[in-house]
Structure 1
């Protein structure tokens, strides 16, 4: 049995770092001793040999607002940074604003965007991210987007849709190239000791099982320096995800608030996944705001006792010899 510890860090304000007001983690974390901790260190400084994960947005579906499920808020997007390389996984509503809040240089730094699937809550921020980077001259190199079948065609349609906007301007400019590529399960990036692997997941509605081949969905794993993170994307309970998550440090997994999972994962099923994978840290993303305590309670009742974080927009997770968590704070005016 794992030696576990439980600790609470009180919420407090810190200085604004790189446009991001940060606070220490403010929820109980049950973790294997020495493996997961809250930190007050500047989370935007990426140390050598580390993987840094920023949950740009954790909201799932069209109702993703911080003020409740009926408000429009930030959708699902995850930024993974390794030294001077950055990968963006999905680009939901607000992705461009969240990246800009970290620093405008990130528009140039984010070289590759990986889409888990083509539902709008995962890609509606792509046109904004691409067009903003181009029109503001924050980026000059083409933007590359990789995803399941349909990604290449979608990128071509986005370029066509904005062609008029680039021409009809006080400062007409050639549009920044948006290069889409359809990918399948396998290694999709391998350079500088970094490996990004795509793997199949199942986001098929039970009533339409034949749709799986027509509308595939992917999860992704990033490995670097014997450290790793898995991003599930949207999926039902997936044996293939469990297989590709073997030995992972951080597992970011979606979850539904409904007992009828449909083409998502229930809390009981997520607990089963976490127990079988046994990551250093399990993270919930793609959630409805306002049900965080319920998610934690139900997952514990389903007998997952490992380290668990219910994600919040702009949480920063750093993966080194240990996993550290820096939580995003309130706005300076307390709003």
Structure 2
């Protein structure tokens, strides 16, 4: 599981930062990518990364401001050209379906795959399968805006080979049955249960990706105990009033959410173009004073989401 930032700017593109888009690389887990927001030029940004749009499985939109969705038509058509022929599902606020259908209809675009648009009417579970659960909650922004909490299911523990050998269980079909949690009876009559020869389950990871928002209760709920929190940091703390006026966050607001929610790694994104290299570093330092485990995202930067040991 890895996060790749295709765009980390706010409002409008700059020479250093394109507008918002983030890829969650799930190729090892399920052979696909999930995209979160799709600002203008995202298809071009993907060309400069290792991301394969043909493997895009889901696209989550936080809200319908242009810097978060103007890139959708280009990404959808590029996916066809890059060999994408499997179904694609889009999630987002009311109005997303009309935007997609209008853009594709007016431009007479033809996709080589079916798409489904799921408009979010309320908070709660957005999608749920054998490997991940995604939950959405409302944030506080000028338009309806959602954040997403992605929870990976726990993986079963490994077979404890030393215990298997102590029981004298030979390699083969019995291993598989025990791995699935079943029980086997040995020639001497001993019954061995899977739970007795399987190690501690591997805890699934939790990643939270927020849309534009000021400090709010929805952000805290989503971020609770997350391994990684991706939070906007449009302004520095000395522009707190401006942030509140436009329903955005400062770097300190983001760090405050991470701390109060008990989140692990905080990643700042959606940086105003007024903050060039030195100014952006100042945003990072402000957040790190409150939440030391903080990173500042850059376009094309990737972050590997590590697994924690069972006792963490």
TM-score class, shorter = 0.7 to 0.9
Tell me what 2:37 maps to. Answer: 90
- Which of these residues, 23, 45, 63, is aligned with residue 117 of structure 1? 63
- RMSD after superposition: 2.2
Structure in which a larger fraction of residues adopt helix: 2
Task: Give secondary structure in 1 for the equivalent of 2:219.
Answer: helix
1:270 deviation in Å?
2.0
Tell me what 1:227 maps to. Answer: 205
Tell me what 1:101 maps to. Answer: 48
Written as runs of structure 1 = structure 2, the 5 A alignment for 1:152-231 is 152-163=97-108, 166=109, 177-183=114-120, 184-204=122-142, 215-224=143-152, 225=154, 226-231=204-209
Checking the alignment, whether the CA contact within 8 Å between 1:130 and 1:143 is kept in structure 2 is no
Q: What's the CA shift string for 1:137-165, capped at 9, x where partnerless?
A: 522234321101111111111121221xx
The higher-RCO structure (CA 8 Å, 6+ apart) is 1
- Which of these residues, 211, 215, 226, is aligned with residue 248 of structure 1? 226
1:178 deviation in Å?
4.2
Tell me what 2:265 maps to. Answer: 281
- Uncovered stretches (5+) of structure 2, i.e. residues with no partner: 155-203
- Which of these residues, 49, 54, 68, is aligned with residue 4 of structure 2? 54
Tell me what 1:4 maps to. Answer: none
Task: Give secondary structure in 2 for the equivalent of 1:61.
Answer: coil
Q: What's the CA shift string for 1:152-193, capped at 9, x where partnerless?
A: 111111121221xx4xxxxxx666544322113111111232
Distance 1:76 1:216 in 2: 17
Distance 2:66 2:234 in 1: 17
Checking the alignment, whether the CA contact within 8 Å between 1:75 and 1:93 is kept in structure 2 is yes
Task: Give secondary structure in 2 for the equivalent of 1:90.
Answer: strand
- Which of these residues, 21, 42, 48, is aligned with residue 77 of structure 1? 21
Q: Aligned residue pairs: how many? A: 245
C-alpha change, 1:239 and 1:64, in structure 2 (3 Å) is farther
Written as runs of structure 1 = structure 2, the 5 A alignment for 1:256-335 is 256-257=234-235, 258-259=239-240, 260-261=242-243, 262=245, 263-288=247-272, 289-290=275-276, 291-300=279-288, 303-321=289-307
1:55 deviation in Å?
1.3
1:198 deviation in Å?
1.1
1:85 deviation in Å?
2.9
C-alpha change, 1:297 and 1:219, in structure 2 (3 Å) is same
Structure in which a larger fraction of residues adopt strand: 1
1:131 deviation in Å?
1.7
1:256 deviation in Å?
2.1
Question: What's the TM-score once normalised by structure 1's chain length?
Answer: 0.68
